[in-house]
Structure formats: C-alpha cells, structure tokens
Amino acid sequence: MPTFMNDPTMPTPSFPGSHMVIDDHYVFISGLTVVDLSNGHAARGDIKEETRLIMRALSRMLETVGGSLTDILRVDIHLTDLHAIQDMDSVYSEHFEPGRYPARTCTESPNICGGGNVEITVMAKRQPQSEQ
C-alpha cells in the first residue's frame, strides 16, 4: 500500500498532490522548485543556486525515508530557458558519481509554477525494509 507524505519543512502543496509517494519499491518526489523551499526565494533567478538548493532538498527528502541521491533512477527537469542547461548541469552533475547518472528528460517550460527557473522531479528505488 503506498504512503503519501508531505515534507514538514515545506508548505503543504497548493495543488492536489503529495510531496512524496512511497511504495514497497520506489520513492516518487513531485516536481520541486525553489519556491517550494523556505530559503529558496532569494535564489530565484540564479539557475545554479536554484539547482543547488533543489538537489539538497531532494537529498534531504530521500534521507528521511532511508535513501540517498544514489538511489535515483529517473529525473525529469524543466527549465524556463533551455539555453541554461549547461549552467544547471554543472551543479546537477556534482551530485552523482561520474558515469552513474539517472535516466533523464530535460524540457523547456517557460512558465514554471511560482516563477522559479528550474523544476526537478525524481523517481528513486527504495531500499528493502530490512536494509534501512
């Protein structure tokens, strides 16, 4: 049976959804933007800092359920300007072991909710209960 969770450090979603859905095998984290983070508003407009804060939040969220960024299997990234992909990638790639990057989609979405410039959604494997 899936567990539907909201991160207590973030505002309750303003949409009909959960921050995380966890089942026996996977952790699904809804799209995260700096607007979702209490310390993120000051970073808005700096794609590198937005990416850095989002990746840190994703790491923290996965840790709360016994996981880490190394458990991520798939990532969906939306950028307001696809020309900023190299700046975003320069920070994003720091969070993974070279050559062990998750499967990924990156698209341009000119209107990201809340006015951020990057939104990241992840799907991660869940460690078996006995290994947590």
Q: At residue 30, what are phi and psi to the nearest 5 degrees? A: -60, 160
CA distance 102 to 9: 26
Query: What pLDDT, on the 0 to 100 scale, is given for residue 39?
Result: 63
Q: What is the pTM of this model?
A: 0.91
Average pLDDT, the chain: 90
First and final C-alpha spacing in the chain:
18
Predicted local distance difference test score (pLDDT) of residue 36? 81
CA 94 and chain centroid, separation: 14
- Max intra-chain CA distance, the chain: 44
pLDDT at site 41: 66
Helix 47-64 crosses helix 85-92 at what angle (to 10 degrees)? 40
Tokens 């880490």 locate to 68
Percent of the chain with pLDDT over 70: 93
Asked whether the beta carbons of 126 and 71 are under 8 A apart, the reply is yes
What CATH fold (topology level) applies to the domain 3-8+17-131? Answer: 60s Ribosomal Protein L30; Chain: A; (3.30.1330)
